[in-house]
Amino acid sequence: MFPSPIRIETPALVIREEVALRNIERFQWHCDDNGLNLRPHVKTHKCVHFARAQVAAGATGITCQKIGEAEVMADGGIDDILIAYNILGNRKLGRLRSLAERTKALSVVADNDVVVDGLSKEFETASRPLTVLVECDTGGRRCGAQTPERAITLARRIATLPGIQFGGLMTYPAVGGQRDVLGFMTLAKAGIEACGLACSAVSSGGSPDMWHARSHDGTITEYRAGTYVFNDRSLVERATCAWEDCAGRIVATVVSVPSEGRAIIDAGSKILTTDLLGLEGFGHLVGHPQARITGLSEEHGIVRCGPGDRLEVGDQVNIVPNHICVVTNMVDNAWLERTAGGMSVLTIDARGKLC
């Protein structure tokens, strides 16, 4: 899956460009073949380099989670952005308006009257209205209108307020919940259209179910996925991808072998993260099938070695993380193994942009 570990300062995040670009291309083809616009989520890579690659491959635009991410992407020339989050507060609303003035197409989501009213007040004197999608809870149990009827009511409210315009419906479903998405969105869309409103966009998402994404005769118009660009152990375990589709890995060095069958690496929770996602251990040690990363402190990883997994001080190892999206936000830069050969520094442009 990976070449021999590269002798670099560790711990370090290394991205194989060839694999990432292949992942981008494959899922773009899937969406094209199934009548879906692809609006990838940049929360995984958080860098302009790969956002540009996604748009160049055919993505209709990108998805961001926070204004800070969107500002970075706009600075990098990406001009069609959805911010998939409720936005509150005068300062954030002011930043949102400034962002709208320098992008071709900016849209946001909302699931309650307070958010909608704040958006309307900020944009009522803007040069063009802000597009607002109603977020729907189709089983993810995060934000979202709880019923199709509530989504219809909120859509009608958006359509009557100054400064904003209704743009459609959006959801982030539970894994395996595409049937629930279709049922909810079919009812909500029909009700909205019965009120005389156009519902031009119906956006679903999620990398775990990405290969099941379909338009369902035009009911679903758009799909948002993020993790697919790099993939990770969680998606391998769900059979969404194979190990060779994992573009990102953490390179770590064995710094101690204090006892038989136990090794310490220099990658701890500050780079591997503590996300388990229902898995055993804190990442997959490539080439060491019986070894497990059983514990983490901030700067130490504890590896339990199997009988055939001999590790010695100074060895460098490759680790496929459980959850790559969190890892990229832990580092300022990654190493990029270029498709044409060689290595370069990849800046994680939107690292730490949480507001």
Is 1 a residue whose pLDDT tops 80?
no
- Per-residue pLDDT at 306: 86
pLDDT digit string, tens, across residues 183-231: 999 999 999 999 999 999 999 999 999 999 999 989 999 999 999 999 9
CA distances from 220 to 215, 217, 319 (A): 5, 8, 36
Average pLDDT over residues 299-322: 95
Is 153 a residue whose pLDDT tops 80?
yes
- Per-residue pLDDT at 155: 99
> pLDDT confidence of 6, banded at 50, 70, 90?
low
Mean pLDDT over each residue of the chain, to the nearest integer: 96
Please report the domains of the chain, with CATH numbers, ordered by start residue: 34-229 (3.20.20.10), 234-347 (2.40.37.20)
Q: Cα(347)–Cα(336) distance, rounded to whole angstroms?
A: 9
- Per-residue pLDDT at 307: 86
Cis bond upstream, residue 11 (ω within 30): yes
- Per-residue pLDDT at 341: 87
> Pairing between strand 12-16 and 333-337?
parallel
First to last CA, the chain: 36
- Per-residue pLDDT at 22: 99
pLDDT digit string, tens, across residues 79-112: 999 999 999 999 999 999 999 999 999 999 999 9
- Asked which of 20-29, 230-239, 268-277, 306-315 is least confident by mean pLDDT, the reply is 306-315
